Amino acid sequence: MNSIRIIVCGAAGKMGRHIVKAVTAAADLELTGAVDIIKIGEDAGVLAGIKPTGIKITNRLQELLAAGIADVLVDFTSPLTVMDNIHCALKHRIAPVVGTTGISAEDLDQIHRWVVQYQTGAIVAPNFALGAILMMKAAQMFARYLKTVEIIEMHHDEKMDAPSGTACKTAALIHEAAGGAPPAREELEKHPGVRGGRVNGIPIHSVRLPGLVAHHEVLFGDAGQLLSIRHDALNRDCFIPGLLLAIRRAPDNKDLIYGLENFIS
């Protein structure tokens, strides 16, 4: 069986280095390109803390994609550039697997149009940690019975977007399962925004602090009781098994798949 050829976009970042290491270690995957706007010219393997791969960091994504050396583009970059990267990959019939957050519903509609236009699938996931996916599925189930809910998400202080994609996806799943938004209450915010933002009518509170990685808690309240479910990503290793699952599904996929829960029965 031929190896799946991978270009990693954002390869010099914290998550990108984990991905380079994981792809290099997998017998059925082959690292064929590494893209970033920093560390240009450095060996992607050395940056990842492994032996040299011979793959140098470049900022020329378009040239790599046009060279026909990849089956999958893995993108962990920035909300400011991710849509251009997805479009470029699909235009060259290369399947993007995207962990960059900050992708809106309007963005997903555009990605779907590109998927149809170029007849190439895309996988976009707000979170690749299997535990986080189980948390979202549990919240979806609980929402059928407990209607009042709030979400707290906490991330490292370098995360650009808020709320997190995982929190937004969780809110959407809860909204769908509950058949609508939680009951509205009259409130007086003495300081605007102190009650958080609302996604699908559900309050989401975002925390950004150094020392954090990625943490989500869903709180359900009802008369005389509180039910909480929480997922803590303590390091970036927890994202790798789910990411590899998506990478291995990507070459044969012809649709837009949003969320790793679509691969979990």
Residues 104 and 145 in one domain: no
Question: What percentage of residues in the chain have a pLDDT greater than 90?
Answer: 84
CATH number of the domain bearing residue 82 = 3.40.50.720
Residue 1: per-residue pLDDT: 60
pLDDT in tens, 6-65: 999 999 999 999 999 999 999 999 999 999 999 999 999 999 999 999 999 999 999 999
Examine the residue annotation and report whether 155 is marked as an active-site residue of this protein. yes
CATH number of the domain bearing residue 218 = 3.30.360.10
Torsion angle defined by CA atoms of residues 30, 33, 37 and 39, in that order, rounded to the nearest 10 degrees: 70
Q: Rounded mean pLDDT of the chain?
A: 94
CB 52 within 8 A of CB 45: yes
Residues 224 and 135 in one domain: yes
Residues 244 and 219 in one domain: no
Residue 184: per-residue pLDDT: 74
Residues 10 and 88 in one domain: yes
Residues 142 and 226 in one domain: yes
Which residues, 6 or more positions from 2, have their beta carbon under 8 angstroms from its beta carbon? Answer: none
Residue 259 has φ and ψ, to the nearest 5°, of 105, 130
Residue 181: per-residue pLDDT: 79
Residues 168 and 90 in one domain: no
Residues 120 and 147 in one domain: no
Residues 88 and 172 in one domain: no
Overall average pLDDT of the 211-225 stretch? 95
pLDDT in tens, 221-249: 999 999 999 999 998 899 999 999 999 99
CA 227 – CA 170 distance, rounded (Å):
16
Residue 198: per-residue pLDDT: 92
Residues 205 and 246 in one domain: no
Overall average pLDDT of the 75-80 stretch? 93
pTM assigned to the model: 0.86
Residues 241 and 183 in one domain: no
The residue count of the chain comes to 265
Residue 142: per-residue pLDDT: 96
**Catalytic pick from 21, 155, 169, 216?**
155
Q: What residue numbers bound the domain in which 76 lies?
A: 4-124+237-263
Examine the residue annotation and report whether 156 is marked as an active-site residue of this protein. no
Extract the tokens encoding 249: 């599904």
pLDDT in tens, 92-116: 999 999 999 889 889 999 999 999 9
pLDDT in tens, 249-258: 999 999 999 9
Neighbours of 78 (CB within 10 A): 16
Residues 40 and 105 in one domain: yes
Extract the tokens encoding 39: 């560390």
Domain count along the chain: 2
Q: How confident is the model at residue 160 (pLDDT cuts 50, 70, 90)?
A: confident
Residues 41 and 95 in one domain: yes
| 154: pLDDT strictly greater than 90 | yes
